[in-house]
């Protein structure tokens, strides 16, 4: 089974690390009342003083949600979410550019992304099952090969400020780094990817870091033989999906998360549901845009809450 290893620091908002031994069920710790943590965007929570209130959205009754995840009053991304890729470092000759562009073009409208429509804002407006792959650009190591969190934001700011991608507040910008690039706050040791938001050109911009897990296959790749034959790209696909659905339902880290500070995808990280065997012997669990992917499950905010690959 997949084992989710949590460091003592690993409680809610980065995608925490795992080692994989096989596919199967994962035992999740019970969602206890003992702590109120807020997301960091990196897959673990941190304590907030005072604890933020759990908010009952209009139209959803006076009782708190019993789905194991709670609304905290912040915005969600509404309408079609735009995805932008910033290919950082050296991606020449790497099929990841095709594999991951197909993912961004195809995930919207899928039964899988429909899970996010179970999330809503304070006006009871639900997330839409729509994602537009709105553009991409490249960055030739402008911040070197060892990126801090601040350097990742600089990569996004540079792409926007130079006009290589538009400034778009209904978007998630993904900084995708080649395997020779490290993220020094804990890529491969504390997380495989993360999402957050920041002020860029005067606007609240949502962005995500996803590194190439060929740098650390045992930590961030579910399998080293993958459906497309590019294990790094296939590993990134699952992490991009995870960060995208968290960024849509918790873009400013103040909307949907549980008492441990875990966002929707955190609650299902490294679980894959029912898989099929591809022609090369690898596992996949969905077909998007005609290509096979192995994507981790997401948390359904309905019927008591559960991990799934599709909704309803």
Figure out which of the listed residues 10, 15, 151, 216 binds Zn ion, where binding follows CB under 5 A: 15
The least distance separating Zn ion from the CB of residue 104, rounded to whole angstroms, comes to: 18
Site for Zn ion in 187-216 (CB under 5 A): none
Candidate segments 3-11, 43-51, 139-147, 178-186, binder of Zn ion by CB under 5 A:
43-51
Binding mask 230-269 for Zn ion (x = CB under 5 A): ----------------x-------------------x---
The least distance separating Zn ion from the CB of residue 144, rounded to whole angstroms, comes to: 26
* Cα–Cα nearest to 147, from 183, 102, 111: 183
Give one DSSP letter per residue of 150-186, joined into a string.
Answer: HHHHHHHHHHHHTTSS---TTEEEEEEE-TT-EETTT
Greatest distance between any 2 Cα atoms in the chain: 55
The least distance separating Zn ion from the CB of residue 90, rounded to whole angstroms, comes to: 27
Q: Which residue, 4 or 205, has its beta carbon nearer to Zn ion?
A: 4
Q: Which residue, 214 or 246, has its beta carbon nearer to Zn ion?
A: 246
Q: Which residue is nearest to Zn ion (CB)?
A: 266
The least distance separating Zn ion from the CB of residue 265, rounded to whole angstroms, comes to: 5
Contact 211, 227 (CB under 8 A): no
Give one DSSP letter per residue of 228-280, joined into a string.
Answer: TS-HHHHHHHHHHHHHHHHHHHSTTSSSEE-TTS--TGGGGTT---S-EE-TT
CA distance 18 to 221: 9
Figure out which of the listed residues 36, 43, 115, 240 binds Zn ion, where binding follows CB under 5 A: 43
Q: Which residue, 136 or 262, has its beta carbon nearer to Zn ion?
A: 262
CA distance 258 to 32: 9
Element (H, E) at 131: strand 131-139
Q: Which residue, 42 or 292, has its beta carbon nearer to Zn ion?
A: 42
The least distance separating Zn ion from the CB of residue 266, rounded to whole angstroms, comes to: 4
The least distance separating Zn ion from the CB of residue 15, rounded to whole angstroms, comes to: 5
The least distance separating Zn ion from the CB of residue 142, rounded to whole angstroms, comes to: 26
CA distance 311 to 119: 12
Q: Which residue, 91 or 299, has its beta carbon nearer to Zn ion?
A: 299
What SS3 class is residue 104? helix
Element (H, E) at 307: strand 306-308
Judged by CB under 5 A, the number of residues near Zn ion is 4
Q: Which residue, 214 or 250, has its beta carbon nearer to Zn ion?
A: 250
Q: Which residue, 43 or 305, has its beta carbon nearer to Zn ion?
A: 43
- The count of other CB atoms within 10 Å of the CB of residue 18 is 22
CA distance 181 to 105: 26
Contact residues: Zn ion, CB under 5 A: 15, 43, 246, 266
């Amino acid at each position: 089974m997949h084992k989710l290893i949590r460091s003592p620091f690993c409680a809610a908002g980065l995608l925490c690390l795992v080692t994989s031994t096989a596919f199967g069920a994962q035992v999740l710790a019970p969602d206890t009342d003992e702590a109120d943590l807020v997301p960091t965007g990196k897959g673990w929570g941190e304590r907030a003083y005072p604890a933020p209130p759990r908010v009952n959205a209009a139209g959803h009754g006076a009782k708190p949600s019993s789905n194991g995840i709670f609304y905290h009053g912040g915005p969600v991304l509404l309408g079609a979410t735009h995805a932008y890729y910033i290919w950082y470092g050296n991606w020449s000759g790497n099929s990841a550019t095709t594999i991951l562009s197909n993912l961004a073009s195809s995930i919207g409208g899928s039964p899988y992304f429909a899970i996010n429509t179970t999330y809503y804002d304070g006006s009871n407006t639900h997330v839409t099952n729509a994602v537009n792959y709105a553009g991409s650009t490249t960055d030739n190591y402008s911040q070197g090969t060892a990126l801090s969190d601040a350097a990742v934001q600089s990569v996004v700011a540079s792409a926007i400020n130079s006009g290589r991608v538009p400034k778009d507040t209904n978007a998630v910008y993904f900084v995708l780094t080649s395997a020779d690039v490290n993220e020094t706050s804990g890529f491969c040791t504390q997380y495989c990817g993360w999402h957050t938001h920041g002020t860029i050109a005067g606007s609240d911009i949502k962005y995500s870091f996803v590194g190439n897990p060929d740098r650390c296959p045992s930590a961030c790749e579910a399998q080293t033989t993958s459906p497309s034959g590019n294990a790094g790209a296939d590993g990134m696909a699952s992490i991009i999906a995870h960060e995208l659905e968290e960024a849509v339902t918790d873009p400013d880290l103040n909307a949907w998360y549980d008492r441990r500070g875990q966002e929707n995808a955190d609650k299902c990280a490294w679980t894959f549901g029912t898989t099929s065997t591809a022609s090369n012997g690898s596992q996949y669990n969905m077909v998007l845009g005609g290509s096979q992917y192995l994507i981790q499950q997401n948390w359904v905010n309905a019927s008591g809450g559960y991990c799934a690959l599709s909704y309803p």
